[in-house]
Structure 1
Amino acid sequence: MNTALEILQKYWKHDAFREPQQAIIHSVMDGNDTLALMPTGGGKSICFQVPALMQSGICLVISPLIALMKDQVKNLQNKGIKAIALTGGIHQDEIIDLLDNCQFGNYKFLYLSPERLQNDWILERIKNLPIKLIAVDEAHCVSQWGHDFRPAYLKIAQLKEYFPKVPFMALTASATPRVKEDIIAQLKLNKPQIFSKSFYRENLAYMVFETEDKLHLLQQILKKNPQPSIIYVTNRKSCLETVNQLETMGFTATYYHGGLTHKDKAAHMQLWMEEKVQVMVATNAFGMGIDKANVKTIIHLHLPQNLENYYQESGRAGRDGEKAFAVMLNNPSDVLHAEAQFLSILPDKAFLNLAFSKLCNYFQIAYGEGIDEQFGFNLNQFCIKYNLPMLKTYNALQFLDRQGIITLSQEFSEKINIQFIIPSKEVIRYMSLNPNDEEIILTILRTYPGIYDMQTAFNPQLIAKKSNSTDNAVLSLLQKLKEKNILEMIAKNNDAAITFNEVREDERTINRISKYLETQNKLKVEQLQAVLHYSKDTKTCKQKLLMAYFGESLNEDCGICSYCITKNKPTQHPETVTEKIIELLKIQDFNSRDIQKLTKFPKDDVIFALQKLLDDQIISIKPNNSYSLQ
């Protein structure tokens, strides 16, 4: 048997493990249930992949993230390691084939979503597999106090009955003390070994700046730090607007969000990875599988939804060990924005019921039917058809996704329908004259027998797989046949795909899951309050605030965050600054940037003085972000 280090060197080309990877691997190999809390970028997957390769049998990996499962399976296959994933949208016949491969094909890894465990026949097949390790990724999802709770995770504990001697490993990148205790209880971990890598990042300076002019400050930060940067925004529209503003200021930038095609995502990512552009502007869709060590600055232009996401996104800076910056830019209107973005659009039970029934009607799913059916989906078109508010509807669909009722895959796709419009004998004649196209066309005819009679939904990936071809070759042939008037093709753009995981039962379905809705809505309010506290607290080290949230305590201030720098700076006497500001405002109203220029005081001193004057109700702030005397 190869040692853990030999496997690491052979497959991952690393000379040594990071702390505490090796200790976690030893714990698993000793047969212990294990809980690993490791920040983003800490190398969690190696902790279960290496021990799986050290022994015979299969490692069962349970994860809610389809993109991450696909990414890990692809990486393992590229290393010559046999791995498969049972993601949403795979039909029963194909699942049976994949599980047969697992049972008889010497596979090492089987990835699946927790929702799959709710299918009794899949559970029966899994019980007969030679499973030697069960890894539960994103384990915070098992806790109602976790930021992405999924009831399907509660089913995982029943695997203990079928595999009493198989060690369980639970992994998460973000868990508060309450969530950590819940993970152990809900997964029924038996005297688990707990490994918790500190969330402290000594090289990462957490900065929070109050400013009315975010673009001006953004310009200063990017000029001062010309290395690779990521700017996080809350929506797709802001991605494009921010890129345009950056380019106007002379910076090179690209963008990334869930509505891009795979091709565009890869192209934009490559531009940034190869440093042909300095800045990646992105929604939280950007992050999966990023492995770029020299990111200097992460900037949040808008308040994040919770500190778990903020910590993970900020943690993509400074992985090379060099000093890096995690910057949050705030202005007075951000709190109202965040409340509108995250709280006022939370669906209640009545709205959830409405959205679900409309969704079923949209795809003409009858009561008692719909399980495993998959459809291309455009959220904007759906909301227009039923006059539904966009963001509230999106949150409702996300909740249904987390509860396992549907799978919402936020990937840009083209829904293709085709129909042959010439007689079958003419198609046969075409194949005899064009033998290179024969295999793909025959595969289409075998797969879709009614394709002469009606417009038929077409899956290019399936045809490519069955004909030992590529997606591009299939799509190119379709285009050629269309131009020759052999077939008719209609392609519609979708920004998501929806798979129904259960039969339609309307209110019965919603009644079953609504008990979780109130808890999750309450949690979202608490999480946003924690973000606001972090952003507004001017008397505590920022690193200390983050560590306290995740259950750690720092004895000393970090020395490099925005609070520590301000505290250590020699400052003007506060009375001098406030007096000068009052004198200026007697002349006319000014914004903070103009006040700083005219008074020539340090920016932090001006902001501190303005805040004190606001608190004392000596001045007020107008809608245009200028200050005036009361």
Structure 2
Amino acid sequence: MQQALDILKKYWQHDSFRDPQDKIIQTVLEGNDAFALMPTGGGKSICFQVPAMIKDGLCLVISPLVALMKDQVQNLEKRNIKAIALTGSLSVNEISDLLDNCRFGNYKFLYLSPERLQADWIVDRIAALPISLVAVDEAHCVSQWGHDFRPAYLKISALKKHLPQVPFLALTASATERVQKDIVTQLGLTDPVIYKKSFARENIAYMVFETEDKLYRLQQILTKNPGPSIIYVRNRRSCHDVSSQLQSLGFTATFYHGGLKEKEKSANMEAWIKDRVQVIVATNAFGMGIDKPNVRTVLHIQLPENIENYYQEAGRAGRNGQKAYAVLLATKSDIKATQSQFIEVLPDKKFLKEVYLKLNTFLQIAYGEGMDQVYPFNFNDFCHKYKFPAVKTFNALQFLDRQGILTMSKEFTEKVHIQFIIPSKEVVRYVSLNPGDEEAILTILRNYTGIFEMETALNTSLITRAAKISEADLIGMLHKLEQKGVISLRTLGNDSSLAFNEVREDEHTINRVSKFLEQQNLIKVGQFNSVVHYATDDSRCKSRLILEYFDEVTTADCGICSYCVAKKRQPKSPVEIATAIIELLKEADLNSRDIETKLELTAQETIFALELLLENDKIKINAYNQYTVT
């Protein structure tokens, strides 16, 4: 292993491997297949990058994440290691040229998505390359029981037949026992050596707090733990709103989401990485390839979609081994909101069939035709014409995409982008002078609060319905606003397209894939229920709940999660608390938050004691909503 250590020191400036990196590397160097389950922060990429540098030839890396592929290629190039990625809308000639570069250009790494393997000619070209190792990242995507099943991953086993002497390494950060077994089977791994690293993160305190005032709780947590922090939110608007609110409270904060321009993404990321700001508020677009070791706190202020995602995002805390916190702030209403966002928008077989049939009608595809044809497509017009709910329809089309029936273009749901470039008071003045535009402008302002700070993609169907105008009138008004210098406008027209990979066969097509839809829906419901269980079960150690989800059994509580801390805390009697409150209020009038903070009480303890004192006329509420001694 000395050669592997030398490579590690030369290119990555590390003096030793983490367990079990060295064992995985040795297995691969011996020419054997391997499966590695290494939770977030375990250093999966080193497991294939180091042996690839030792072996002659090219390492093929299959990954579903374009952002991660680009990030890894950039990091390898910074180390003067030649790497290439087949990403973006490349023509056949461009792909062919890049594969020629791999063959004759002394490249060490070729990254591509599993969807590329659906083209037989690409598989044939890859089989002719001097492949020394195949690394399958995010390997859980091959399993229909996983949280992110991608049918294209099933094509990888065919690639193995072309490269029978080449070792395959499957890697994932999160998989249950059932998914682990399915990965080995579906990828066709040959007697793989299995490596599993425990999901336990002894230095992370998993905390769940029920709170109605999340901003106040954020303020408390970030003040008490002033180190670098990530706050995960569900949408782009919340990134801006929460970041602004934290700034108004005196914290240094920035934001990150998929809608930012690359320059702004890089600037915001760098400010956080270099500790110029304490907090980065982000959607789940943030995090891939990020390895900032001193993250003290990762907070979620909405329920995550599943435990797998939560574990990976929470696992970005404490990678330096120091104590860190993974905090989930929740309310009872969050359960209904999350159910509405993730579960109620799942298409069933009947809806999927209706969308597929109407789609063929909309694009005028005759029965038995459509294969290998690309059609311009306006998603908003399609939903509006057939009165389909947008999110549920998008999920149905995405399912058809993942089943390989059709391919959606990347810019699918983004058609019109605007940003107000004059102050809000000037917009009010414009509206007063142009009353005919008032309803549409006010609808936009009501639905897109961050539209003065960033370019925003509009849902034109939403606006036209609410403002009771046609889409043509709306587009005309936006062009007028652009000409008058009120907004910046970017319209993409029929910016999206659909490519059909099969002929139209109506019921036969849907019947063939509907069993997978029903199965995936059941999995998503089960995953959601597991999240609810984690958030609401206050009788079990939070760390143990996570470990048990991943089929890792332990009999010991962690001692540092919210449940364990509460269990160790000596409960105070209501009389004792009430007495302490009276003594505190003799010094100054205070609100309930101040009382809770100063006496280190729970919200429930504070409320119960205050109600007790109010009922016995020991205290009263003054004009400033503070409690005072009577």
Question: Do the two structures share a fold, i.e. TM-score over 0.5?
Answer: yes
Distance 2:135 2:163 in 1: 13
User: Does the aligned pair in 2 maintain the 1:371–1:502 contact within 8 Å?
Assistant: yes
- Aligned pair in 2 of structure 1 residues 577, 37: CA closer, same or farther (>3 Å)? farther
**Paired residues for 1:61-460 under 5 Å:** 61-355=61-355, 368-369=369-370, 371=372, 383=383, 387-404=387-404, 405-406=406-407, 409=410
Aligned residues: 524
Report what 1:619 is aligned to. Answer: none
Deviation at 1:249, TM superposition (A): 2.3
Distance 1:411 1:260 in 2: 17
Deviation at 1:148, TM superposition (A): 0.4
> Which amino acid in the other structure matches residue 164 of structure 1?
P
Distance 1:501 1:25 in 2: 41
- Aligned pair in 2 of structure 1 residues 594, 287: CA closer, same or farther (>3 Å)? closer
Report what 1:14 is aligned to. Answer: 14
Normalised to the residue count of structure 1, the TM-score between the two structures is 0.75
Distance 1:372 1:23 in 2: 48
Report what 1:603 is aligned to. Answer: 602
Report what 1:522 is aligned to. Answer: 522
Deviation at 1:309, TM superposition (A): 0.2
SS of alignment partner, residue 567 of structure 1:
helix
> Which amino acid in the other structure matches residue 602 of structure 1?
L
Deviation at 1:415, TM superposition (A): 10
- Aligned pair in 2 of structure 1 residues 12, 357: CA closer, same or farther (>3 Å)? farther
Deviation at 1:54, TM superposition (A): 0.8
Normalised to the residue count of structure 2, the TM-score between the two structures is 0.75
Deviation at 1:493, TM superposition (A): 5.6
**Paired residues for 1:612-623 under 5 Å:** none
Report what 2:559 is aligned to. Answer: 559
- Aligned pair in 2 of structure 1 residues 238, 78: CA closer, same or farther (>3 Å)? same
Distance 1:198 1:48 in 2: 20
User: Does the aligned pair in 2 maintain the 1:25–1:50 contact within 8 Å?
Assistant: yes
Q: Deviations over 1:308-339 (max 9, x none)?
A: 00000001111122111100011121111111
User: Does the aligned pair in 1 maintain the 2:232–2:301 contact within 8 Å?
Assistant: yes
Deviation at 1:518, TM superposition (A): 0.8
Deviation at 1:159, TM superposition (A): 2.4
Deviation at 1:356, TM superposition (A): 5.4
Q: Deviations over 1:499-531 (max 9, x none)?
A: 747256373654443321111110000001111
- Aligned pair in 2 of structure 1 residues 287, 101: CA closer, same or farther (>3 Å)? same
Deviation at 1:16, TM superposition (A): 1.4
User: Does the aligned pair in 1 maintain the 2:28–2:34 contact within 8 Å?
Assistant: yes
User: Does the aligned pair in 1 maintain the 2:365–2:504 contact within 8 Å?
Assistant: no
Deviates more, 1:407-416 or 1:150-159: 407-416
Q: Deviations over 1:158-187 (max 9, x none)?
A: 223222222111000001111111111111
Q: Deviations over 1:561-615 (max 9, x none)?
A: 1001000010135x879999xxxxxxxxxxx9679859978216639989xxxxx
Distance 1:496 1:596 in 2: 56
Deviation at 1:250, TM superposition (A): 2.5
Distance 1:60 1:314 in 2: 29
Q: Deviations over 1:418-467 (max 9, x none)?
A: xxxxxxxxxxxxxxxxxxxxxxxxxxxxxxxxxxxxxxxxxxxxxxxxxx
Distance 1:529 1:290 in 2: 29
SS of alignment partner, residue 166 of structure 1:
coil
> Which amino acid in the other structure matches residue 137 of structure 1?
D
> Which amino acid in the other structure matches residue 54 of structure 2?
M
User: Does the aligned pair in 1 maintain the 2:371–2:504 contact within 8 Å?
Assistant: no
> Which amino acid in the other structure matches residue 21 of structure 1?
Q
- Aligned pair in 2 of structure 1 residues 389, 258: CA closer, same or farther (>3 Å)? farther
Q: Deviations over 1:95-134 (max 9, x none)?
A: 1112222223332222222122221111222222222211
User: Does the aligned pair in 1 maintain the 2:363–2:375 contact within 8 Å?
Assistant: no
Structure 2 segments unaligned to the other structure (5+ residues):
418-488, 580-590, 610-630
User: Does the aligned pair in 2 maintain the 1:37–1:171 contact within 8 Å?
Assistant: yes
SS of alignment partner, residue 60 of structure 2:
strand
Distance 1:84 1:209 in 2: 45
| Root-mean-square deviation over aligned CA pairs | 3.5
Deviation at 1:353, TM superposition (A): 4.5
Q: Deviations over 1:196-239 (max 9, x none)?
A: 11111111110000112212111111111222211111122222
Deviates more, 1:238-247 or 1:147-156: 238-247
Distance 2:540 2:495 in 1: 42
Distance 2:10 2:106 in 1: 19
- Aligned pair in 2 of structure 1 residues 314, 351: CA closer, same or farther (>3 Å)? same
Deviation at 1:414, TM superposition (A): 9.7
Deviation at 1:553, TM superposition (A): 2.3
> Which amino acid in the other structure matches residue 217 of structure 1?
R
Q: Deviations over 1:48-101 (max 9, x none)?
A: 111111111221211111221222222223322222222352111111112222
> Which amino acid in the other structure matches residue 264 of structure 2?
D
Distance 1:11 1:154 in 2: 33
- Aligned pair in 2 of structure 1 residues 411, 388: CA closer, same or farther (>3 Å)? closer
SS of alignment partner, residue 3 of structure 1:
helix
Report what 1:58 is aligned to. Answer: 58
SS of alignment partner, residue 333 of structure 1:
helix
- Aligned pair in 2 of structure 1 residues 69, 355: CA closer, same or farther (>3 Å)? farther
Distance 2:495 2:258 in 1: 9
> Which amino acid in the other structure matches residue 555 of structure 2?
N
Report what 1:462 is aligned to. Answer: none
SS of alignment partner, residue 95 of structure 1:
helix
Distance 1:388 1:314 in 2: 36
- Aligned pair in 2 of structure 1 residues 346, 107: CA closer, same or farther (>3 Å)? same
- Aligned pair in 2 of structure 1 residues 111, 411: CA closer, same or farther (>3 Å)? farther
Distance 1:495 1:334 in 2: 36
SS of alignment partner, residue 84 of structure 1:
strand
Deviation at 1:251, TM superposition (A): 2.2
SS of alignment partner, residue 155 of structure 2:
helix
- Aligned pair in 2 of structure 1 residues 330, 577: CA closer, same or farther (>3 Å)? farther
SS of alignment partner, residue 332 of structure 2:
coil
- Aligned pair in 2 of structure 1 residues 601, 72: CA closer, same or farther (>3 Å)? closer
- Aligned pair in 2 of structure 1 residues 579, 178: CA closer, same or farther (>3 Å)? farther
User: Does the aligned pair in 2 maintain the 1:355–1:393 contact within 8 Å?
Assistant: yes
Structure 1 segments unaligned to the other structure (5+ residues):
417-489, 581-591, 611-630
- Aligned pair in 2 of structure 1 residues 372, 230: CA closer, same or farther (>3 Å)? farther
User: Does the aligned pair in 1 maintain the 2:58–2:130 contact within 8 Å?
Assistant: yes
> Which amino acid in the other structure matches residue 172 of structure 2?
T
SS of alignment partner, residue 298 of structure 1:
strand
User: Does the aligned pair in 2 maintain the 1:205–1:562 contact within 8 Å?
Assistant: yes
